[in-house]
Amino acid sequence: MNEARLAQARAWMRQDPDHETRDELAGLITRAASGEEQAVAELDDRFGSRLAFGTAGLRGELGAGSNRMNRVLVAQAAAGFASYLREKAHGGTPTVVIGYDGRRNSRVFATDSAELFAGAGLRAILLPRLLPTPVLAFAVRHLGADAGVMVTASHNPPNDNGYKVYLGGADHGSQIVAPADAEIAALIERVAEAGDISALPRSTDYETAGEDVVDAYVAATAQVAPAPDAASGLRWVYTAMHGVGWETLSRILKAAGYPQPAVVDEQLSPDATFRTVAFPNPEEPGAMDLSFARARRARADFILANDPDADRLAVAIPDEAAEGGWRRLTGNEVGLLLGARAARAAEGTPGASLACSLVSSPGLAAVAAHHGLDFHETLTGFKWISRAPGIVFGFEEALGYLVNPGTVRDKDGISAAVAILGLAAEARERGVTLADLLTELGDTYGHFASGQVSVRVQDLSVIGNVMLSLRSLPPAQFGRHAIASAEDLLQAAPGQPSGDVLRYRLVDGSRVIVRPSGTEPKLKVYLDAKADSAEGARATIAELEAGVRALLEERS
């Protein structure tokens, strides 16, 4: 066993204030010191690298070590971020708001951060209880704060947690982007190199925000789509996916005038084990099965589902062709419904724009053009979408929607739910359904379809090898669909989105985009097609999916 690694682990254990991770690490050290190969490998995994702080902040598995989420790592992050805020304040007293969701250790990490921010001389404001991520993003602007921290891992597996960072002021409560991420990471590294976190100053002299902050979010979000008279007849189902969305959403429904839904009781309250789902993400197979069953019993018109921190929204509608009679709409379908809604409202407004990530449906550009609005295509992530000039609506195909940029500059699954309720109520007034609205979209803007191939890996090097293979030996076609041009966004022109992304434009006008996931061990491939009919577009997607899967199997 590497004695230096053992010494590193022992030093970490001595400064760890959490008895659970301390005991866990003590046992691992004992087994590794005795030569147990599995323990040696585990120790190398935990201490051979450091959980990287990037534009999504921190996110990873809970446990002891520098490559895990734990109280030592969070303390180092909080102290480093405090140094960054003090440097940017030029002598003033920065204000930072801290929120947390219902995951394991979320409240502990949030309280540690509040104490460390206060100890560093910042004005620290802890939100009053576990709340959705959009409430934290709202609070940064509402309180005029310089920054915000949300402790959440969103829809990641149960044993993950994370640390998402926002900036106020000129950033309007958006998530951090370069160069702030690198500057903060360097200061965190400096704290880590200094050693024992117990030497960091702490103070319990932080503030706890009052209910007025939540009240203000409720009032602002209720105004996204006040209920028309026809809303009283809506029959719908809601699930919080074991997260924190329900309490806030139910208050907004009352304020906006919508009927309460039939709920999935088993998933309504926060539960850090996410016991009824294999993976707490509405996109994952099986995650909405309980919702579908509840909707069948309630004879509902549609289903709305938030992810655990309620920054994403899934929508499902009855579909006789689907297994179980229900189909979850894709993020692109919901994005185009909400985008058209925003475009109609903004038509004629100088400088107003729609925005989406480069992997989301090109249909949003068609919507913007139809209504005479500007359009911006950005890198993936709402840190980029939220910064689009003149934005009135933005979305990402991974169930993220920004419908209320005047108050929240981030994806917000609760305000998106209110906007969908507004659309459903307006459709009901006309005697049509959400499915009919999708048909109308195709008739007005063109028939777009999308799909996705997602490959989860145990070894991250597999993803790097596939991307290298695609760059070294470019494919000529996907199935029978020939490639007209290929772009490597690592070599993007100045002013264009750049990143580890390969984009292929096909002869028939379709599009294929390949990129590693930024938050999960996945390689993701995005498929988009446009045709004269919805059936034609869907058929093209099916063919592209088969071609992509065959190619990835060959290159893996």
- DSSP letters spanning 205-244: --EE--HHHHHHHHHHHHTTSPPPGGGGG--EEEE-TTSS
Angle between helices 245-256 and 413-429 (to 10 degrees): 40
AA letter at 418: V
Query: How far apart (Å, rounded) are the C-alpha atoms in residues 107 and 111?
Result: 6
AA letter at 49: S
pLDDT value for 257: 97
Q: Phi and psi at residue 315, in whole multiples of 5°?
A: -125, 135
- The CA distances from residue 77 to 1, 104, 128, in Å, are 30, 18, 22
pLDDT value for 521: 85
**CB-based contacts of 273: which residues, under 8 Å, 6+ apart?**
158, 242
Phi/psi class of residue 528: alpha, beta or left (left: φ > 0; alpha: ψ in -120 to 50)?
beta
Q: What share of the chain is helix, strand, coil (3-state, %, to 5)?
A: 45, 20, 35
Confirm if 113 and 122 have CB atoms less than 8 A apart. no
Tell whether the torsion through CA atoms of 157, 522, 356 and 376 is positive or negative: positive
Q: Residue 279, exposed/middle/buried by CB under 10 A (0-12, 13-18, 19+)?
A: middle
Q: Which pTM does this prediction carry?
A: 0.93
Query: What tokens were used for 301?
Result: 């018109």
Query: How far apart (Å, rounded) are the C-alpha atoms in residues 548 and 556?
Result: 12
pLDDT value for 457: 87
* Complete DSSP assignment for 305-350: EE-TTSS-EEEEEE-TTSGGGEEEPPHHHHHHHHHHHHHHHHTT-T
Active-site annotation, residues: 154
Measuring CA to CA, which residue among 355, 499, 503 is closest to residue 54? 499
pLDDT value for 178: 87
- Residue 260 CA, chain-centre distance (Å), reads 26
Helices (H) and strands (E) in the chain, counts: 17, 22
Q: Which residues pair with 151 in a beta bridge?
A: 100, 163
Show the domains of the chain with their CATH numbers. 1-48 (no CATH), 54-209 (3.40.120.10), 231-444 (3.40.120.10), 447-555 (3.30.310.50)
- Dihedral through CA 7, CA 9, CA 10, CA 13, nearest 10? 160
- Residue 272 CA, chain-centre distance (Å), reads 18
**CB-based contacts of 110: which residues, under 8 Å, 6+ apart?**
98, 99, 100, 126, 127, 149, 151
Query: How far apart (Å, rounded) are the C-alpha atoms in residues 437 and 424?
Result: 9
Tell whether the torsion through CA atoms of 302, 306, 311 and 316 is positive or negative: negative
- The CA distances from residue 466 to 475, 477, 478, 488, in Å, are 12, 16, 15, 14
Show pLDDT as tens, one digit a residue, over the chain (556 residues). Answer: 689 999 999 999 999 999 999 999 999 999 999 999 999 999 999 999 999 887 779 999 999 999 999 999 999 999 999 999 999 998 899 999 999 999 999 999 999 999 999 999 999 999 999 999 999 999 999 999 999 999 999 999 999 999 999 999 999 999 999 899 999 999 999 999 998 999 999 999 999 999 999 999 999 999 999 999 999 999 999 999 999 999 999 999 999 999 999 999 999 999 999 999 999 999 999 999 999 999 999 999 999 999 999 999 999 999 999 988 999 999 999 999 999 999 999 999 999 999 999 999 999 999 999 999 999 999 889 999 999 999 999 999 999 999 999 999 999 999 999 999 999 999 999 999 999 999 999 999 999 999 999 988 888 889 999 999 999 999 999 999 999 999 999 887 776 667 899 999 999 999 999 999 877 789 999 999 999 999 999 999 999 999 999 999 888 8
Among all chains, which residue has been given the structure tokens 């099965």?
Answer: 289
Phi/psi class of residue 212: alpha, beta or left (left: φ > 0; alpha: ψ in -120 to 50)?
alpha
Among all chains, which residue has been given the structure tokens 């499902």?
Answer: 316
Angle between helices 413-429 and 211-222 (to 10 degrees): 30
Query: How far apart (Å, rounded) are the C-alpha atoms in residues 26 and 14?
Result: 10
Convert 104-117 into a string of H (helix), E (strand) and C (coil). Answer: CCHHHHHHHHHHHH
**CB-based contacts of 153: which residues, under 8 Å, 6+ apart?**
59, 69, 103, 160, 161, 162
